């Protein structure tokens, strides 16, 4: 079972866009037991794409194409593949309905070229696009399977995961299956995690352990190659228990489609608690991150962005003398902000952020110095100073993650 | 002059690493007037790499290889290319000296396999590695030029920029250079932009026009192939004027490294105006987006996140009766929020967001329905209803972009 990925788009060859689609698809296909042997990028040029298809057809069982399904004249992937296998393009009714709905709802005018997006290759299976208008196609001709996906990653990913992958798994069933489990950690770096688990990682062959560093967190993917689910679950349970013995204190949740904010919101819901915030350097990023989670209104009612000393006084009633004496980048200010945000919102918890986002210094303190305060009903508020590295927006992001972790631990009483 | 880039590394095919090297090299080569026609990724497999070299040699004048110059057994690029062109590998003395210095300085023991890194292809030019130990090679055989670069981006980039690029520019002097200009548009979709500019795009050959859709905006890259800068500037000026006649009302700024929020903050600074916000469904995303821009404290002092009806009353003093009568997803609520945010912050402008982020309905209104209010000192506040498509966080993002555009237009008095 050999697969290859062809990305179509001159913008990739000009270095304007990074080919993250190939990376995403490779990882997902590997999980499904489908091995990828080549990635290729070719420009919006039908002749060169056709040459590549001739070559790919000889060496691969599955050819995944991304890009070139859009409305404009340089979107030629569908036409070229259809010509290559000598099929026609036909209108997909479901995609057409979605197109009309889209323009009716947004009240924008629909231009004629949008109809191109609703075309699929005759004889194939239409692959619907949950976040865009261009429909994909899956079609097998003479032992070669072609999968056509859109170029924008925010369309490609949901289309692949929700619609294309289940079709591929049906088409190419694997005797041995890969069963994996993702463990998520916050508060430990990748190199430290790998050092702690070195012996386990070096000696482990089935299941395997693959660490992966993401901004401000690390995940471990445990993957077992097994004949049946039950055996896989058992192997993963044993390995997980070993991992937890060593680094369990940093573990916060399971799964690819999970995050520290989701787990934090879930914990608040479970315990029937609410949260508020007062944000200086993060400027609303903590609250906005809460807002990413559907249904957060149950536990989050609102809060404050106090970016200047003046708004700290006016919105939160913090004493001007305190700010003058202690400075805004101070324990006293962080505590006052958290306390006042909690009082004024009536929430069970409030977190506060005040510090130096950079690039320059503030009050003689270097970029990355951040005080985070935590107020809990019936308890005196506390605050700690953290030092985050790298550039401005990484510092703000790091502060928000630490704030989420503080709330999560406070709600679940895990100190 | 046709070039292609071959990245060697199984980790790329497993989706563990993104091929950013191809993007970097493509951009630099384009700037040097060398056009890249293909990117390919192949695993650490000599047979498949050799097949690819056979193919590449037929279609390209320059083949840039990255990866596989390291000390371990799966680093086979040098051996495979040398065999392909029937040359030997020889030790590069300069690289050998650097290797010995490195281990003497670090006091680590040098393992034998490190010597592999100092090998180059006989008859070629050694390309030194300023930040690593593996030496590269540039060699021309029978009208095909091969450039071998290391895989780690922190080694590839300095080696290419400092040593390889000057050699290439000498080898392939360009009579013509590419000069490009990026125009950024907000408020018009890619399909509509392309339709408006259809005649211009279809008839234009030098400069060319390349549209590119990003979330909530579209960019146009105008690229002229010219002998000198002045001629390029003139051609781009003429084309830009033609583009502006048709779609100038949506234009907001120039350049790859630009954004609507940067332009908005710049406009506020220029006019000496400040902005505040009251956010419901966006939950702080507007203010946090302002916070992304270094130096925003000059024009942004703070604002409110009022996610519930209760916080709209308590933080902003909005009349409970108004909320009960009109609902929170209403013109009256958006106007009151913007007015109160402006009053309480003392800012010159304030924007408000209230609507339905989804996934479900709110007050009988569907997800994507958003009222955005705008208050300006000395004028009655106004509000408009917008309908944004797609999922929750895209709706919130779309609302924020519209809010930024409203502020930008209000500040610069472009209605």
| Residue B7 to residue B77: CA distance in whole angstroms | 10
Do B27 and B9 share a structural domain? Answer: yes
Cis amide bond preceding A152, omega within 30: no
Predicted local distance difference test score (pLDDT) of residue B107: 67
Predicted local distance difference test score (pLDDT) of residue B314: 97
Chains A, B: CB pairs < 8 Å? 256
List chain B residues with CB under 8 Å of A154. 215, 394
Which of B44, B146, B4, B45 is closest to B86 using CA atoms? Answer: B146
Of A41, A105, A113, the CB nearest to B195: A113
- Domain limits for position B141: 2-171
Give the pLDDT means over successive 10-residue stretches in chain A (415 positions): 95 91 94 91 95 96 95 88 97 93 82 90 96 94 96 94 96 82 90 83 86 81 87 95 96 93 98 98 98 96 97 97 96 98 98 94 91 97 90 92 97 80
Among B219, B254, B289, identify where a domain stops.
Answer: B254
CA atoms within 13 A on the CB side of B174: 21
> Would you call A152 an interface residue with chain B, using a CB distance cutoff of 8 Å?
yes
CB under 8 Å, gap of 24 or more: what pairs does A201-205 form?
A204/A239
- Cβ–Cβ gap B308/A297 under 8 Å: yes
List chain A residues with CB under 8 Å of B14. 26-27, 30, 36
DSSP A184-225: EE-SS-HHHHHHHTHHHHHH--SSEEEEEEETTEEEEEEEEE
CB atoms within 10 A of CB A91: 11
Q: Give how far A237 is from chain B: nearest CA, Å.
A: 25
Do A148 and A27 share a structural domain? Answer: yes
Total domain count, chain B: 3
> Would you call B186 an interface residue with chain A, using a CB distance cutoff of 8 Å?
no
Predicted local distance difference test score (pLDDT) of residue A415: 56
CB atoms within 10 A of CB B109: 6
Do B374 and B308 share a structural domain? Answer: yes
Do A155 and A21 share a structural domain? Answer: yes
Do A382 and A279 share a structural domain? Answer: yes
Do A198 and A164 share a structural domain? Answer: no
Chain A residues 7-66 within an 8 A CB cutoff of chain B:
10-20, 22-30, 35-43, 48, 55
| Residue A353 to residue A356: CA distance in whole angstroms | 10
| Residue A348 to residue A115: CA distance in whole angstroms | 52
Do A112 and A187 share a structural domain? Answer: no
Predicted local distance difference test score (pLDDT) of residue A40: 98
| Residue B301 to residue A55: CA distance in whole angstroms | 60
Interface test mutation site (partner A, options B302, B333, B354, max chain A beta carbons within 10 A)? B302
Q: Is B284 left (phi over 0), alpha (psi -120 to 50) or beta?
A: left
Predicted local distance difference test score (pLDDT) of residue A413: 86
Among B122, B141, B171, identify where a domain stops.
Answer: B171
Of B211, B301, B302, the CB nearest to A72: B211
Do B69 and B16 share a structural domain? Answer: yes
Under a CB-based contact definition with an 8 Å cutoff, are residues A393 and A399 in contact? Answer: no
Task: Please report, for the domain that includes residue A51, its CATH number.
Answer: 3.40.980.10
List chain A residues with CB under 8 Å of B49. none
Q: What is the 3-state secondary structure (H, E, C) of chain B?
A: CEEEEEEECHHHHCCCCCCHHHHHHHHHHHHCCCEEEEEEEECCCHHHHHHHHHHHHHHCCEEEEECCCCCCCCCCHHHHHHHHCCCCEEECHHHHHHHHHHHHHHCCCCCHHHHHHHEEECCCEEECCCCCCCCEEEEEECCEEEEEECCCHHHHHHHHHHHHHHHHHHHCCCCCEEEEEEEEECCCCHHHHHHHCHHHHHHCCCCEEEEEEECCEEEEEEEEEECCHHHHHHHHHHHHHHHHHHHHHHEEEECCCCCHHHHHHHHHHHHCCCEEEEECCCCCHHHHHHHCCCCHHHCECEEEEECCHHHHHHHHCCCHHHHHHHCCCCHHHHHHHHHHHHHHHCCCEEEEEEECCCCCCECCECCCEEEEEEEECCCCCEEEEEECCCCHHHHHHHHHHHHHHHHHHHHHCCC
**Hey, which of A187-191, A262-266, B149-153, B205-209 has the most confident mean pLDDT?**
A262-266
Residues near A26 by Cβ (< 8 Å), separated by ≥ 6? Answer: A5, A36, A39, B12, B13, B14, B15
Among A254, A272, A288, identify where a domain stops.
Answer: A254
Q: What mean pLDDT, rounded, does chain B reach?
A: 93
Do B146 and B61 share a structural domain? Answer: yes
List chain A residues with CB under 8 Å of B394. 131, 154
Task: Please report, for the domain that includes residue B408, its CATH number.
Answer: 3.90.950.20
- Mean pLDDT for the stretch of residues B198-211: 88
| The pLDDT of residue B89 is above 60 | yes
Do B297 and B381 share a structural domain? Answer: yes
Residues near A306 by Cβ (< 8 Å), separated by ≥ 6? Answer: A278, A279, A280, A312, A315, A316, A337, B302
List chain B residues with CB under 8 Å of A298. none
| Residue B148 to residue B120: CA distance in whole angstroms | 9
Percent of chain B with pLDDT over 70: 99
Q: Give how far B31 is from chain A: nearest CA, Å.
A: 9
| The pLDDT of residue B7 is above 90 | yes
Do A250 and A266 share a structural domain? Answer: no
Q: What is the tens place of the pLDDT at every residue in B347-402?
A: 999 999 999 998 889 999 999 999 999 999 999 999 999 999 878 999 999 999 99
Residue of B nearest to A49 (CA): B38
Task: Please report, for the domain that includes residue B213, its CATH number.
Answer: 3.30.70.2860
Q: What is the tens place of the pLDDT at every residue in B270-325?
A: 999 999 999 999 999 999 999 999 999 999 999 999 999 999 999 999 999 999 99
Of B14, B17, B304, the CB nearest to A30: B14
Q: Give how far B90 is from chain A: nearest CA, Å.
A: 30
Do A193 and A164 share a structural domain? Answer: no
- Cβ–Cβ gap B311/A297 under 8 Å: no
> Would you call B403 an interface residue with chain A, using a CB distance cutoff of 8 Å?
no
């Amino acid at each position: 079972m050999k697969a290859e990925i062809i990305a179509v788009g001159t913008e990739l060859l000009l270095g304007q866009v990074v080919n993250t689609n190939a990376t995403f698809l490779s990882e997902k296909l590997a999980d499904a037991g489908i091995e990828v042997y080549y990635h290729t990028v070719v420009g919006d040029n039908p002749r060169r794409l056709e040459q590549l298809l001739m070559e790919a057809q000889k060496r691969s069982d599955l050819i995944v194409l991304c890009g070139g399904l859009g409305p404009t004249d340089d979107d030629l992937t569908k036409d070229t593949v259809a010509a290559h296998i000598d099929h026609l393009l036909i209108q997909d009714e479901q995609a057409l309905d979605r197109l009309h709905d889209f323009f009716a709802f947004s009240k924008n005018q629909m231009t004629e070229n949008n109809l191109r997006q609703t075309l699929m290759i005759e004889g194939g299976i239409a692959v619907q696009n949950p976040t865009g208008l261009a429909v994909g196609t899956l079609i097998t001709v003479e032992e070669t399977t072609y999968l056509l996906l859109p170029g924008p990653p925010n369309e490609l990913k949901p289309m692949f995961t929700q619609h294309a992958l289940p079709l591929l798994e049906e088409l190419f069933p694997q005797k041995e299956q890969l069963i994996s489990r993702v463990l998520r950690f916050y508060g430990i770096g990748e190199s430290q995690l790998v050092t702690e688990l070195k012996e386990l990682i070096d000696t482990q062959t089935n299941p395997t352990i693959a660490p992966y560093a993401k901004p401000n967190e690390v995940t471990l993917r445990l993957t077992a190659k097994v004949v049946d689910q039950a055996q896989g679950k058992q192997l993963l349970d044993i390995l997980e228990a070993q991992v937890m013995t060593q680094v369990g204190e940093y573990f916060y949740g399971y799964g690819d489609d999970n995050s520290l904010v989701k787990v934090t919101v879930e914990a608040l819901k479970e315990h029937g608690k609410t949260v508020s915030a007062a944000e200086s350097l993060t400027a609303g990023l903590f609250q906005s991150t809460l807002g990413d989670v559907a249904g957060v209104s149950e536990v989050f009612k609102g809060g404050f962005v106090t970016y200047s000393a003046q708004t700290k006084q006016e919105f939160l009633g913090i004493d001007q003398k305190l700010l003058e004496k202690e400075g805004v980048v101070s324990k006293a200010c962080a505590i006052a902000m958290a306390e006042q945000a909690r009082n004024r919102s009536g929430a069970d918890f409030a977190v506060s952020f005040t510090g130096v986002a950079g690039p320059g210094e503030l009050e003689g303190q270097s970029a990355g110095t951040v005080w985070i305060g935590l107020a809990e009903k019936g308890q005196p508020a506390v605050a700690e100073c953290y030092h985050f590295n790298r550039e401005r927006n990484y510092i703000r992001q790091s502060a928000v993650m630490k704030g989420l972790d503080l709330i999560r631990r406070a709600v679940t009483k895990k100190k």
